[in-house]
Amino acid sequence: MSDITRSSLPEHVAIIMDGNGRWAKQRGLPRIMGHRRGVEAVRETVRAAGECGLKYLTLFAFSSENWRRPVSEVNDLLGLLKAFIRRDLADLHKENVRIRVIGDRDSLNDDISALLIEAEQTTRDNTALTLVIAFNYGSRDEIARAAASLARDVALGKIDVSAVTPDAITARLDTAGIPDPDLIIRTSGEERLSNFLLWQAAYSEFLFIPDYWPDFDRKTFFSAIDQYMTRDRRFGGLPDQVAVAGA
């Protein structure tokens, strides 16, 4: 098997949904309107991802840094996420979509915590698309929690320090069991990762799109997939090298 493949359909696409505020401002609307339209774009993207047979779609819904926004906007964003789960959970379940949530769950209010658990439990046996919602998520925090969990086990004598390997860290991240993203998309023209999937992005392809998130639709999604499929991925190998797996 070659580890240097002309990219085929991605298995996992992750999206930094940026530009809701600017979309609203451009139209003289309050920021919440941008976020509301952003939820419509989420629905359309989830449908498109399911249609093309994608296995994992990760959406950066709320970062651990987003708490710094004005309380009213934080409440709007939390309200939209709760409403999305309440309204769309049954349909997503019917469409065989599994929901997983990544991020720090410990500091969340009981009501949102219960909703996230309900979404994960209800859909846990679904086998089509896995929709990964990054909520109260920060990559450095995720890596620090994984490191702390390994350190605890070393201190307790459960594992030896030599067992602290990249694979062991990967297995203790919130994304355990989820393959690394093949493609990371960020909308709105900004070109940075903003503490999103830092560990998992080691070999991801990146696509920065000028459109604001509320304008992202199935056409943009399929065009992003097409662009990804023109890329050559080498995973540190050479362009014309064909490696035997495990060699």
Q: Which amino acids are annotated catalytic?
A: 18, 66
We find the least distance from the C-beta atom of residue 9 to ligand FPP, in angstroms, to be 23
For residues 169 and 186, is the Cβ–Cβ distance under 8 A?
A: no
Between 59 and 178, whose beta carbon lies closer to ligand FPP? 59
Q: How many CB atoms lie within 10 A of CB 220?
A: 19
Closest among 225, 233, 231 to 51, alpha carbons compared: 225
Question: Residues in the site for ligand FPP, rule: CB under 6 A?
Answer: 17-22, 35, 38-39, 42, 59, 61, 66, 77, 80-81, 84, 133
The least CB distance from residue 239 to ligand FPP, in Å, is: 36
Please identify, using beta-carbon distances, which residue of 82 and 231 lies nearer to ligand FPP: 82
Report the DSSP beta bridge partners of residue 12: 56
Residue 149 labeled ligand binder: no
Ligand-binding site membership of 43 (annotated): no
**CA–CA separation, 26 vs 29, rounded Å?**
8
- Known binding residue 22? Answer is yes
Q: How far is the CB of 69 from ligand FPP (least distance, A)?
A: 8
Q: Is 140 annotated as ligand-binding?
A: no
Buried b (16+ CB within 10 A) or exposed e, 45-55: bbebbbeeebb
Least CB distance from residue 81 to ligand FPP, whole Å? 5
Identify which of residues 6 and 86 has a Cβ nearer to ligand FPP in the complex: 86
Nearer to ligand FPP, 31 or 55 (CB): 31
223 labeled binding residue:
no
Q: State the Cα–Cα distance between residues 76 and 36, nearest whole angstrom.
A: 9
Handedness of CA 92, 96, 97, 98 (dihedral sign): positive
- Minimum Å distance from CB 155 to ligand FPP? 37
The alpha carbon of 131 is separated from its chain's Cα centroid by a whole number of angstroms, namely 8
DSSP letter string, 115-127: HHHHHHHHTTT--
**Among candidate residues 119, 113, 59, 111, the one with its CA nearest the CA of residue 91:** 119
In the bound state with ligand FPP, the residue whose beta carbon lies nearer, of 119 and 173, is: 119
192 labelled binding-site residue: yes
Contacts for 168 with CB less than 8 Å, ≥ 6 apart: 150, 159
Chain residue whose CB lies nearest ligand FPP: 21
Residues of each annotated binding site for Mg(2+): 18, 205
Residues of each annotated binding site for substrate: 19-23, 31, 35, 63-65, 67, 69, 186, 192-194
